[in-house]
Structure 1
Amino acid sequence: MTLDDAQTPFLAVDATVVRANADRLSRHLAGLGVPLRAHVKTTKSVDLAALLDDGRPVPITVSTLAEASAFADAGYRDILYAVGIAPDKLPRVTALRDRGVDLTVLLDSVEQAAAVPAGVPALIEVDCDGHRGGVQPTDPVLLDIAHTLAARGAVPRGVLTHAGESYFADGVAALRAAAAHERDCAVRAAAVLRAAGFEAPVVSVGSTPTAHFATDLTGVTEVRAGNFLLFDLVMAGIGVCTPSDLAMTVVATVIGHRPDKGWILTDGGWMATSRDRGTARQRVDQGYGLVADLDGTLYDDLLMTDASQEHGILSVRPGSSAALPTLPVGARVRILPNHACATAAQHDRYHVVRPGSRAVEAVWSRIRGW
Structure 2
Amino acid sequence: MLEHLHTPCLLLDETVLRANIKGMADRFKQIGVPLRPHFKTAKSIEVARILQDHGAKSWTVSTLKEAEYLSSAHFKDILYAVSIVPQKMEQVMALSRNGAQMAICLDSPEMADQISSMKLDGPAPKVYLEVDVDGHRTGVTTHDQRAIETAIILSRAKNLEFAGLMAHGGGVSYAANGKAELEAAAEQERTTTLSVKAMLQTAGIACPHVSIGSTPTALFGTSYEGVTDVRAGVYMFQDVFQANLGMCALEDIAATVLATVISHAPHLNRIVIDAGGLAISNDRSCATQRNDCGYGFLSDVDGYVDPLLYVEGVSQEHGYITTRDGSSLPFELYPLGSQLRVLPNHSCMTVAAYEGYNLINGNHEGQWWDRCNRW
TM (norm. structure 1) is 0.95
- Equivalence for 1:52: 51
- 1:61 paired with 2:65, answer no
The residue number in structure 2 matching 1:96 is: 95
Matched residue of 1:7: which SS?
coil
Asked if the contact 2:269–2:328 (Cα under 8 Å) also holds between the matched residues in 1, the reply is no
Match of 2:308 in 1: 301
What amino acid sits opposite 2:342 in the alignment? I
Match of 1:290 in 2: 297
Q: Does 1:146 align with 2:151?
A: yes
* Cα distance in 1 for residues equivalent to 2:55 and 2:189: 29
Between the two proteins, what is the percent identity of the paired residues?
41
How far does the alpha carbon of each residue in 1:50-92 deviate from its partner, in whole angstroms, 9 at most, with x for none? Answer: 1113287720000000000000000011000000002100111
Of 188, 194, 206, 2:195 maps to 188
Residue type of the alignment partner of 1:161:
A
**Cα separation, 1, equivalents of 2:220 and 2:239:** 17
Aligned to 1:4: 3
Q: Distance in 1 between matches of 2:350 and 2:100?
A: 30
What SS class does the counterpart of residue 41 from structure 2 fall into? coil
Deviation at 1:112, TM superposition (A): 1.2
Matching of residues 215-234 of structure 1 within 5 Å: 215-234=222-241
Q: Distance in 1 between matches of 2:340 and 2:350?
A: 16
Report the AA paired with residue 63 of structure 2: T
Q: Distance in 1 between matches of 2:355 and 2:89?
A: 27
Deviation at 1:151, TM superposition (A): 3.2
Task: Tell me how far 1:319 sits from its aligned partner.
Answer: 4.2
Residue number in structure 2 paired with 1:159:
165
Measured after TM superposition, the shift of residue 303 of structure 1 is: 0.7
Q: 1:113 is matched with which residue?
A: 112
Matching residue's letter, 2:168: H
Cα drift, residue 233 of structure 1: 0.4
Residue in 1 that maps onto 2:254: 247
Q: Which runs of 5+ in 1 are unaligned?
A: none
Q: Distance in 2 between matches of 1:56 and 1:208?
A: 18
Deviations 1:287-321 (A, max 9, x none): 11111111111123111111110011111113457
Task: Determine if the alignment matches structure 1 residue 204 to structure 2 residue 204.
Answer: no
Aligned to 2:367: 362
Query: Equivalent residue for 2:130?
Result: 125
| Match among 293, 303, 327 for residue 334 of structure 2 | 327
Q: Does structure 1 conserve the Cα–Cα contact (< 8 Å) formed by 2:244 and 2:291?
A: yes
- Over 3 Å counting, the alpha-carbon distance change for 1:365 and 1:44 in structure 2 is same
Structure 1: 4+ residue segments shifted above 3 A: 318-325
Give aligned pairs, total: 367
RMSD of aligned residue pairs (Cα, Å): 1.7
Q: Is the 8 A contact 2:312 2:320 kept in 1?
A: yes
| Contact map agreement 2:148 2:200 (CA 8 A) in 1 | yes
Residue 272 (structure 1) aligned to one of 257, 269, 279: 279
1:152 Cα deviation after fit: 2.7
Unpaired segments ≥5 residues, structure 2: none
Change in Cα spacing, 1:21 to 1:325, as seen in structure 2 (3 Å) is: farther
Distance 1:366 1:34 in 2: 28
- 1:138-197 deviation per Cα after TM superposition (whole angstroms, max 9, x unaligned): 211111111112333122110011111111111100100000000001111122223333
- Does structure 1 retain, via aligned residues, the 8 Å contact 2:264–2:331? no
With structure 2 as the length reference, what TM-score do the two structures score?
A: 0.94
1:324: how far off?
5.0
CA distance 1:325–1:203, shift in 2 (3 Å): farther
Is the aligned partner of 1:43 residue 2:48? no
- Letter matched to residue 145 of structure 1: T
Secondary structure in 1 matching 2:333: coil
SS of the counterpart of 2:24? helix
8 Å contact kept, 1:156–1:198: no
2:197 partner SS: helix
